[in-house]
Amino acid sequence: MQYDLLARLKQETAASHTRLENALDLMRDDWPRDDYVALLERFYGYVAVWENAAGQRMPAHLREFFGARRRAALLAADLCVLTGDQRRADAVPLADPDVDLPALEGLGRVFGSMYVMEGSTLGGRFIAPHVARLFGLANGEGNAYFDGYGARTGSMWNAFRETAAASVAPEQHDDAIKAAIATFDGLHGWLARTRVEAGAGA
């Protein structure tokens, strides 16, 4: 089947996905605005580093495909809107690629990790309007990261699925699964650690 890899990714990452989703609890109603800003900062610290690392490992014929999916700039824009500071993202602590990111050697690992980042746009379709309502945000201003690709989110996800299935050889499927799990767990560890550090520094 064309989507054997995607079916495995969904099934074998389910526990790590659920753990991260429960830890973040992004659909809650008792969410202070400052906590939302802090969460976007933490996401930026991971996503910006991940995009650079993954982008460097994409072969030439897939660079445009990957470039269209970079979203760190959306986080930077959201932080600017929410804080009024155009350089807010410049002061955000960044993840250590050697510690916090999964191993990305080989196309299987890159696409496995990308599965996590691209999959987040699907949940974002529910999170974006939720935070807009909570914090009185205009559509796409302050919630652009979670809004993902907007009306194109579904078609972008389908294009990712097709490209992943066509690009990752069967012998790399296990590596893709390992990288996806490591990405979920790495995000969980990074977001939890930076949350603790932010609280300690307050």
* Residue pLDDT, tens place only, 76-94: 999 999 999 999 999 999 9
Q: Where are the domains of the chain?
A: 4-201
> CB of 78 within 8 A of CB of 40?
yes
Per-residue DSSP letters for 62-118? GHHHHHTT--HHHHHHHHHHHHS-TTGGGGSPPP-TTTTSPP--SHHHHHHHHHHHH
- Interior angle at CA 21, CA 137 and CA 195, nearest 5: 75
One-letter amino acid at 93 equals P
pLDDT at residue 156 tops 90: yes
- The arithmetic mean of pLDDT across residues 140-152, rounded, is 94
Q: Which of 6-10, 135-139, 163-167, 171-175 has the lowest mean pLDDT?
A: 135-139
pLDDT at residue 106 tops 50: yes
pLDDT at residue 123 tops 70: yes
Q: Which CATH number describes the domain made up of 4-201?
A: 1.20.910.10
Q: Which two tokens stand for residue 115?
A: 């599965």
Residue-wise pLDDT for 168-183, tens only, equals: 999 999 999 999 999 9
- Which comes out higher in pLDDT, residue 140 or 10? 10
pLDDT at residue 201 tops 80: no
At 195 the pLDDT is 56
Chain-centre distance of CA 183, in angstroms? 9
The per-residue pLDDT of the chain, averaged, comes to 92
For 137, other C-beta atoms within 10 Å of its C-beta total 20
Number of H helices, E strands in the chain: 9, 0
At 139 the pLDDT is 77
Q: Which two tokens stand for residue 44?
A: 């930026």
pLDDT at residue 142 tops 50: yes
Confidence tier at 2 by pLDDT (50, 70, 90): very low
> CB of 97 within 8 A of CB of 45?
no
At 197 the pLDDT is 54
pLDDT at residue 127 tops 60: yes
Q: What percent of the chain has pLDDT over 90?
A: 91
Spatial distance between the Cα atoms of 115 and 134, rounded to a whole number of angstroms? 29
This prediction's pTM: 0.93
Q: Which two tokens stand for residue 99?
A: 């510690």
